[in-house]
Chains A and B, each alone.
Chain A
Amino acid sequence: MNEEIVSVSGVYFSYNGDFVLENVNLKVKEKDFLMIVGPNGGGKTTLVKMLLGILKPAKGEVKVFGTSPENVLDKIGYVPQKMNNVNDMPLTVLECVLTGLKSGFFKIRYTKNEIKKAEYVLSRVEMDKFKDKKMSELSGGQVQRVYLARALISSPELLILDEPTSNIDPYGSFCFFTTLEEINREKTIIMVTHNLNLLATKINSVACVNKYLLYNDKPELTKEMMEIMYGIHDEHYCSMGAYVAEEIKHLTKCEGENCCHYKGRI
């Protein structure tokens, strides 16, 4: 128990020139449910891609299950954020989910067992009715549900989700998170999200990413996190910030009046 699943130490990353992430440290333990928050462009997706070995750190070390990510991809389920890579090729929902299995060679037909598995995970995200539909005919939220099923089908030990509910309706995301909570009983979950309402429930730790990473092992945003995320506690005030402040105030028990100034990406 409490084995270390993810360990990121002293990581720097830049796409071309400026560092997008600086001196990032993070540990995720078995059966954690970590929520990653931060402003747009803060570096959340970049961090997630490093956990998957898609991107390599310029400096520092990323270890997943004690080794580099490429060696343990079998144990990781991934739900990507990007929706614009969606291809309108002929592909049914069922086959899309089946691509989450190990590919292998000289395998064209899927076995009964594989199809059963796919139908089961589809029913978990309430998409079993759509299994014969084409992927290109689904709505954005339906696609995200299918992607969760695609990640679940390989029974991963670690589930990494990048804004999985950005297109899912409020009731739908409530159900989605309930499903994740169930899954969390057996699996470790790392989820990027902008849905701060979750702080109250399901998750057990928070990381806030905006070039730097701040970590809290309780499901609460600290004052420092508010500072690097939204610049709250500035003297300045802006209407954009006011809305964010209202949303966040009761979650963080922020006392200050008119204390918000939206700073965005560092």
Chain B
Amino acid sequence: MLELLNYDFFLNAVYILLFASIVCAVAGALIVINRMVFLAGAVAHAAYGGVGLAFFLAQPVLPITLAFSIVSSSAIGIYTAKKTSRIDSVIGIFWALGMALGIILIDFTPGYKADLMSYLFGSLLAVSSNDILMVVVLSVISILFLFAFYRQLVLFSYDREFAFVKGVNIVAIHTLIIILSAVSIVILIKIVGIILVIAFLTIPQYLSEGKTNTLMGMILLSCVYTICFGISGLIFSFYFNTTSGASIIIIAGIWFVVEKMFLGIKNGKSEKIAT
């Protein structure tokens, strides 16, 4: 297996996974504890609008998608920060609108669009050094974000109203969490693709949540899970010649089922019925 380390494309994939796992662990933990999974789904699919825009303008895809997603997620964030009723319908509209925009823009783009599929399903084995640089910068930014606002994030996630009373800027924190999700999603587009993004932002976090008592613990643990899933998925895809993104998600999913079954039996936990 060690011979894999001789391949540059494999090493690049490992590097990008290591740094991406930081961004994804931070964003994913905040998404999961704030019950924003659906919101993150909308951001992910709206990102396709950015992919379309990049094709249409014939510009590099990741930077354009990143800019597009930051703008659209800020709008989603500010709009959803204070509303509580029917918020899911509004999010659903964003979801479809971004996707539709992407499809139309690509329709308008002449020529053959061979690598379009790679944005839907990821292309972990075709990582450039620019991609790695971008992910490193973004992971530093997300660590700074986490450290700077840690107490606000805990307070906000647990009880928004009380956070407001404690002087936390609710709209700002809510919007920043969504922007961070957008950033992590754009990175993940490279790794697992738009379609599978959500699994990567929720499975590791969900598995970590019950095993720790703090938000920081949850983030660190999901970072470890993300790296393990990522690298084993990568190796799997190499030996079985499968799509890397889907292989990673399958491994995460299988592990999720195994762990849930195993832990359920070990602790002899009673099943909760409803609610």
Contacts and interface: CB of A to CB of B under 8 A. Distances in A.
Interface of A: 52-54, 73-74, 76, 78, 80, 82, 85-87, 89-92, 95-96, 99-100, 102-108, 132, 134-135, 150
Contacts of A53: 165
A110 to B, nearest CB: 9
> Top 5 nearest A-B pairs by Cβ distance?
A89-B33, A103-B151, A99-B155, A108-B150, A103-B152
Contacts of A87: 33-35, 157-159
B161 A82 contact: yes
Contacts of B34: 87
A52 B210 CA distance: 34
B209 interface: yes
Given A80-B161, A82-B161, A91-B154, 9 more contacts: A52-B165, A53-B165, A87-B158, A89-B209, A99-B154, A107-B150, A107-B151, A108-B150, A108-B216
Contacts of A96: 158
A22 B94 CA distance: 39
Nearest to B152: A103
Given A90-B214, A91-B215, A105 B148 contact: yes
B147 interface: yes
Contacts of A90: 33, 209-210, 212-215, 217-218
A95 B154 contact: yes
Given A73-B167, A89-B215, A103-B168, A54 B161 contact: yes
A132 B213 CA distance: 8
Of the four ranges (under 10, 10 to 19, 20 to 34, 35 or more), the interface on chain B belongs to 20 to 34
A100 B166 contact: yes
Main secondary structure of the interface of B (DSSP, over half): helix
Nearest to B211: A90
B217 A103 contact: no
B108 interface: no
Interface of B: 33-35, 147-152, 154-155, 157-162, 164-168, 209-210, 212-218
A74 B166 CA distance: 7
B251 to A, nearest CB: 25
Nearest to A98: B151
Nearest to B147: A106
A86 B275 CA distance: 14
Contacts of B162: 78, 80, 99, 150
B148 A91 contact: no
Contacts of A91: 154, 158, 213-215
A80 B154 CA distance: 17
A192 B212 CA distance: 36
B132 to A, nearest CB: 27
A134 B217 CA distance: 13
Contacts of B148: 105-106
Nearest to B208: A90
Contacts of A86: 159
A103 B218 CA distance: 20
Contacts of B168: 103
Contacts of A99: 151, 154-155, 158-159, 162, 166
Contacts of B218: 89-90
B158 A54 contact: no
29 contacts: A52-B164, A54-B161, A73-B166, A74-B167, A76-B165, A85-B161, A86-B159, A87-B35, A87-B159, A89-B157, A90-B209, A90-B210, A90-B212, A90-B215, A91-B214, A92-B214, A95-B213, A96-B158, A99-B154, A99-B158, A99-B166, A100-B166, A102-B166, A106-B147, A107-B150, A107-B151, A108-B150, A108-B216, A134-B213
Contacts of B217: 90
Nearest to B218: A90
A80 B167 CA distance: 16
A108 B214 CA distance: 11
A78 B166 CA distance: 9
A92 B209 contact: no
Nearest to B216: A108
A104 B151 contact: yes
A91 B150 CA distance: 13
Nearest to B214: A90
Contacts of B155: 99, 103
B210 to A, nearest CB: 8
A122 B160 CA distance: 22
Contacts of B215: 89-91
A197 B160 CA distance: 32
Nearest to B144: A106
B121 to A, nearest CB: 32
B165 A78 contact: yes
Contacts of B160: 85
B151 A54 contact: no
A87 B147 CA distance: 22
